Amino acid sequence: MKKRYLLGAPALALAGLLAWFGPELLGLYRLDRYVSASAASHDANGGAWPRVTDACIGCHGINGNSLHQGYPSLAGQPAPYVAAQLRKFASGERANPTMSPLAMTMSETEINHLAEHFARQPAQDNRSFEPDAGLLEKGQQLVTSGGCVACHGSRLMGHDAFPRLAGQGYDYLLAQFDAYAAGGRSEPTGVMKAIAAAASPEDRKAMAAYLASLAPR
Percent of the chain as helix, strand, coil, to the nearest 5: 65, 0, 35
Residue extents of the structural domains in the chain? 49-124, 125-217
- Between helix 191-198 and helix 170-182 the angle, nearest 10°, is 100
Q: Quick check: do 49-124 and 125-217 share a fold?
A: yes
**Which pLDDT band holds residue 25 (cuts at 50, 70, 90)?**
low
pLDDT at 134 over 70: yes
Q: Where residue 47 falls among pLDDT bands split at 50, 70, 90?
A: low
150-179 per-position pLDDT tens digit: 999 999 999 999 999 999 999 999 999 999
Classified by CATH at the fold level, domain 49-124 comes out as: Cytochrome Bc1 Complex; Chain D, domain 2 (1.10.760)
* Residue 96 near residue 89 (C-beta atoms within 8 A): yes
* CATH classification code of 125-217: 1.10.760.10
For the four alpha carbons of 66, 70, 71 and 72, in that order, the dihedral sign comes to positive
